[in-house]
Structure 1
Amino acid sequence: MTEWLVKRFVKGYADTADPAVRTRYGQFAGIVGIVCNILLCLGKGAIGLVSGSVSIVADAVNNLSDAASNIVSLLGFKLASRPADPEHPYGHGRYEYLAGLVVAALVLAIGINLTWSSVQKILAPEPTEFSGALVAVLVLSIIVKLWMAAFNRALGQRIDSDTLTATAVDSRNDVISTTAVLACACISQAAGIDLDGWAGAAVGLFICVSGVQLLGDTVSPLLGQAPSAELVNHIHDKIMSYPGVLGTHDLMVHDYGPGRQFASAHVEMAAEADPLESHDLIDNIEQDFKADDGIIVTLHYDPIVTDDPEVKDMRNWIAEQVRAIDARLTIHDLRCVPGPTHTNVIFDCVRPVDCALAPGELRERVAALVQAHYPRSIAKITIDESYVSSEQ
């Protein structure tokens, strides 16, 4: 059903890399959520008020707040689609992250409110009326929310949207909470004990935990989280696939919202090659990233001496030694400047942010290794911090 709806209501649905298509996906998901949640709120609210069930009324209020969340998501996608302007040259894509943050905050607020209402019901219990209509409405709600969870998860995966993923989690929470309310209503009817308040409290605490988790997930990209290992490996492997590229390092990825990623890296190429040809190759790599992946990549050319066997052997030896300290350590831009009394060995060493050695300690240790193996040398080392995930 989801596929049929997408094909019918999302124009250009196949081109998910297009920001305009992503906006249509988000707006369509928001409209579907608003309609479904308002209908569920009306049905549950009526049954909850008639039966006197605080947990069902709270569940109805939950659906009403879900509709508000859908409106926030709809607004977030609309604002995120605004083009770049002089004040925001990288566009407005982070509005989508802000919308996800608001949705997460609403989920947490709902959980707190539901828990408080349920505690009040536990302290001052009131009779709850059980009926076939109550069961029918709750079962229908579970079915609708199961579909909504699958619907938002599918669309979130298709366009890589944290906002829709958060909405899918919220729908899953609704399924759990409504199922718990239904189960307790049936148990209370069969056993003659009132579990309404306890069910509401348990559901409220579960929603609070989910809200806190969602807040963490949505705050992370706003703070500038490291790119995924999959993206880092893809960029690295694609650069290395071009003939003439000897190595790449100093990768940085900046995320200004889904579909608005910018990256920069250094590319090592033979110093003996024609610089015009090397520059042309770098231009081609940058254009290929933009055309194939939608990522604006800026590459810096690093010339590497390849026709000096002594420098090559030294580079390989030092690279092996730093890997023995930490397998994630790498070196680049090594060059030698000979002098009458010693040779300056100049290079950069890339240190992961969670390396056991502090930058100064790492510099001293590597310099000592180099000078012990090459007595007439002095190591001039720049410690670079890695700006990508240490998982790769």
Structure 2
Amino acid sequence: MVNEDRDKLGKRAVYVAIAGNLFLTIFNVAVGIMAGSYALISEGAHTLTDITTSIIAYIGFKIGSKPADEEHPLGHGRAEAIAGLLIVIFLAIVAYEIISGAVDRLFFGGTTTIPEPLAAVMAFIGVFTHFSLSQYIIKLGERVNSPAIIADGKHQRVDIFASLAILIGILIAQYGYPQLDPFIGFVIGLLILKTAFDVALDNMNNIMGKVPSPELVDKIVEVSNSVNKVCGTHDVRVNYLGSYATVTLHVELPPDMDLDESHKIVHLVQDKIVDEIDVVHGATVHACPAGLKYDHDQQIDE
């Protein structure tokens, strides 16, 4: 994908997320106060942080899209994973605030009231809006292969279940169980913590060098083997750098091939992999004589 197109899609994801979450923040808090729903006010506070995390995601996306330079010869891609980890911090803080407030209302004499039916209407609107937002942002994130934007979309996704839980809690509270409202707020806090853990795990794996998907390895082997005179491909290693990856691999060439020709084929393989697999931005290929079996890590006698 051309960098210009990728940047436009990244901006679009952020603008849509901010607009949608600003709408939900204002109306969740306003309706929560008017209708007396702690869970709805809690969700409004959480939605406000969604705006901040969307901005963080875009900053990480922009930095990660910068080309390689002298100080960063492999590019800046891991900035996106770092942005994802910053989003985790915001999630954890919000979860703590919501859980502590709910516990106070449930066990330490905090005020518990029966929410007005208006709160249920707002919760229903929240379910639909959060579903649309999260699906759209995650799809855009996957399209541009951005860990930061995908993390933001997953962050938004938890709000679907939060709004649904609020809706159920408010409806049940109408039948004389107001304690369910802060209890639902407590459940929302736990859901946010779970999302924080999942997002942290995804981005830590990206930074620390996760195992590539079998589909990606198979595609690399397929592209490499499609080059004329390549007899086989093995020892494929993928190094993730945020939204993209670099690859090292060994190709098997005819034993009687001269050095000049093998050098040309190695470069053909490298160029073909980078051209045909979007996620791969660089490839290093080692040539081996076909049919020769040995451990590449062994010491070779001089």
- TM-score norm. by structure 2 comes to 0.89
How far off its partner does 1:239 sit? 1.7
Change (3 A) 1:297 1:46: same
Name structure 2 gaps, 5 residues minimum: none
- Tell me if the contact between 1:54 and 1:121 (Cα under 8 Å) persists in the aligned partners: no
Answer with 199-208 or 100-109: which moved more: 100-109
User: 2-side partners of 1:219 and 1:81: how far apart?
Assistant: 19
- Tell me if the contact between 1:94 and 1:257 (Cα under 8 Å) persists in the aligned partners: yes
- Identify the structure with the greater strand proportion: 1
- Tell me if the contact between 1:51 and 1:128 (Cα under 8 Å) persists in the aligned partners: no
User: 1-side partners of 2:267 and 2:179: how far apart?
Assistant: 71
Deviations 1:323-352 (A, max 9, x none): xxxxxxxxxx43xxxxxxxxxxxx2178xx
- Tell me if the contact between 1:265 and 1:300 (Cα under 8 Å) persists in the aligned partners: yes
* Structure 1 segment 248-263 matched on structure 2, within 5 A: 248-259=233-244, 261-263=245-247
User: 2-side partners of 1:194 and 1:252: how far apart?
Assistant: 54
Q: Greater RCO between the two (CA within 8 Å, min separation 6)?
A: 2
User: 2-side partners of 1:20 and 1:98: how far apart?
Assistant: 22
- Tell me if the contact between 1:105 and 1:215 (Cα under 8 Å) persists in the aligned partners: no
User: 2-side partners of 1:291 and 1:265: how far apart?
Assistant: 16
- Tell me if the contact between 1:26 and 1:73 (Cα under 8 Å) persists in the aligned partners: no
Q: Which residue of 2 aligns with 1:110?
A: 94
Letter in 1 for 2:232: G
User: 2-side partners of 1:271 and 1:142: how far apart?
Assistant: 63
Identity of aligned residues (%): 26
Counterpart among 171, 186, 202 of residue 171 in structure 2: 186
Q: Is residue 298 from structure 1 mapped to residue 284 from structure 2 by the alignment?
A: yes
User: 1-side partners of 2:87 and 2:177: how far apart?
Assistant: 38
Q: Is residue 142 from structure 1 mapped to residue 127 from structure 2 by the alignment?
A: yes
Q: Is residue 272 from structure 1 mapped to residue 219 from structure 2 by the alignment?
A: no
- Identify the structure with the greater helix proportion: 2
Name structure 1 gaps, 5 residues minimum: 1-16, 307-332, 335-346, 351-380, 383-392
User: 1-side partners of 2:202 and 2:241: how far apart?
Assistant: 16
How far off its partner does 1:192 sit? 4.7
SS of the counterpart of 1:348?
A: coil
How far off its partner does 1:287 sit? 2.0
SS of the counterpart of 1:191?
A: coil
Q: Which residue of 1 aligns with 2:116?
A: 131
- Tell me if the contact between 1:76 and 1:99 (Cα under 8 Å) persists in the aligned partners: yes
Counterpart among 58, 63, 69 of residue 42 in structure 2: 58
Q: Which residue of 1 aligns with 2:59?
A: 75
Change (3 A) 1:26 1:168: same
Letter in 2 for 1:144: T
Letter in 2 for 1:277: E
Q: Which residue of 2 aligns with 1:348?
A: 295
- Tell me if the contact between 2:117 and 2:170 (Cα under 8 Å) persists in the aligned partners: no
User: 2-side partners of 1:192 and 1:111: how far apart?
Assistant: 24
User: 2-side partners of 1:37 and 1:193: how far apart?
Assistant: 27
- Tell me if the contact between 2:37 and 2:119 (Cα under 8 Å) persists in the aligned partners: no
Letter in 1 for 2:295: D
Q: Which residue of 2 aligns with 1:95?
A: 79
SS of the counterpart of 1:160?
A: coil
User: 2-side partners of 1:253 and 1:130: how far apart?
Assistant: 53
Letter in 2 for 1:199: I
Answer with 218-227 or 192-201: which moved more: 192-201
User: 2-side partners of 1:185 and 1:253: how far apart?
Assistant: 49
User: 2-side partners of 1:257 and 1:166: how far apart?
Assistant: 12
Change (3 A) 1:128 1:84: same
How many residues end up aligned between the 2 structures?
Answer: 297
Letter in 1 for 2:288: D
SS of the counterpart of 2:104?
A: helix
SS of the counterpart of 2:250?
A: strand
How far off its partner does 1:120 sit? 0.7
How far off its partner does 1:43 sit? 0.8
| Superposition RMSD in Å | 2.2
Letter in 2 for 1:65: T
Q: Which residue of 1 aligns with 2:25?
A: 41
Deviations 1:347-375 (A, max 9, x none): 2178xxxxxxxxxxxxxxxxxxxxxxxxx
From the CA coordinates, give the structure whose radius of gyration is larger.
1
User: 2-side partners of 1:83 and 1:165: how far apart?
Assistant: 21
User: 2-side partners of 1:146 and 1:27: how far apart?
Assistant: 20
- Tell me if the contact between 1:239 and 1:245 (Cα under 8 Å) persists in the aligned partners: yes
Change (3 A) 1:133 1:193: closer
How far off its partner does 1:84 sit? 2.3
User: 2-side partners of 1:151 and 1:142: how far apart?
Assistant: 14
User: 2-side partners of 1:114 and 1:92: how far apart?
Assistant: 35
- Tell me if the contact between 1:73 and 1:96 (Cα under 8 Å) persists in the aligned partners: yes
- Tell me if the contact between 2:223 and 2:272 (Cα under 8 Å) persists in the aligned partners: no
Q: Which residue of 2 aligns with 1:231?
A: 216
User: 2-side partners of 1:349 and 1:277: how far apart?
Assistant: 22
